[in-house]
């Protein structure tokens, strides 16, 4: 079967070649001498992030430097991407703490549910986006790495202030 060709209806009375080319050249020349400057010179100059930017995770710590996490298990339960691995432990006083807490930043979809669900305000998403590693394993952040992150954390959406002002 032959290929059916869509034949366009052209306004043939308006067709021109030389004049249309000249119009196009005038347009490109205008842009060349007066460009709309939008390029950001990235490594030297970085645009400010929104306070609600959801990026690399960060685990907040108590005053003695241990993670605030109480290993309640809510974040792995709510995580839609199933990227949080949590093994709870318990000390002699009956306080629960995470034996293993790992977030796979490759699986994570940065929805922010873990931050929203956390009763202790321990796990947060952060205003940070430069994650480069040499191996895939490097993207599995353990508890030590999560607590060591220093970037500002993401502010959650406030229903009373929907525009974030």
Q: Which of 110, 111, 104 is nearest to 136 (CA)?
A: 104
Q: Helix, strand, or coil here: 30?
A: helix
Nearer to another protein, 17 or 134 (CB): 17
Smallest gap from residue 126 Cβ to another protein (A): 30
The separation between CA 107 and the C-alpha centre of its own chain, rounded to angstroms, equals: 12
Does 3 sit near another protein (CB under 8 A)?
no
Could you tell me the two tokens for 159?
């229903």
Cβ nearer to another protein, comparing 7 with 160? 7
**Residues 77-116 as x/- pattern, contact with another protein by CB under 8 A:** ----------------------------------------
| Distance (Å, whole) CA 86 – CA 100 | 5
- What residues between 22 and 51 interact with another protein by CB under 8 A? 24-25, 27-29, 31-33, 35-39, 41
- Residue 135 binds to another protein (criterion: CB under 8 A): no
d(CA 144, CA 62): 14
Q: Which is nearer to another protein, 3 or 48 (CB)?
A: 3
What are φ and ψ of residue 12, in 5° steps?
-65, -25
CB of 99 closer than 8 Å to CB of 125: no
Which residues make up the interface to another protein (CB under 8 A)?
A: 1-2, 7-10, 12-19, 21, 24-25, 27-29, 31-33, 35-39, 41
């Amino acid at each position: 079967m032959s290929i059916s060709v869509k034949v366009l209806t052209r306004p043939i009375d308006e067709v021109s070649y030389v004049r249309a080319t000249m119009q196009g050249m005038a347009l490109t020349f205008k842009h060349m001498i007066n460009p709309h400057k939008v390029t950001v010179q990235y490594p030297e100059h970085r645009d400010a992030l929104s306070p609600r930017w959801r990026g690399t995770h960060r685990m907040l710590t108590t005053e003695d430097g241990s993670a605030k996490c109480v290993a309640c298990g809510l974040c792995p339960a709510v995580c839609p991407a199933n990227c949080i691995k949590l093994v709870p432990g318990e000390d002699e006083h009956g306080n629960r703490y995470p034996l293993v807490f790992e977030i796979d930043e490759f699986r994570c979809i940065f929805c922010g549910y873990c931050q929203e669900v956390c009763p202790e305000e321990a796990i947060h998403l952060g205003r940070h986006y430069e994650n480069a590693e040499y191996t895939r394993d490097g993207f599995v952040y353990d508890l030590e790495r999560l607590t060591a992150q220093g970037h500002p954390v993401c502010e959650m959406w406030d229903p009373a202030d929907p525009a974030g002002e």
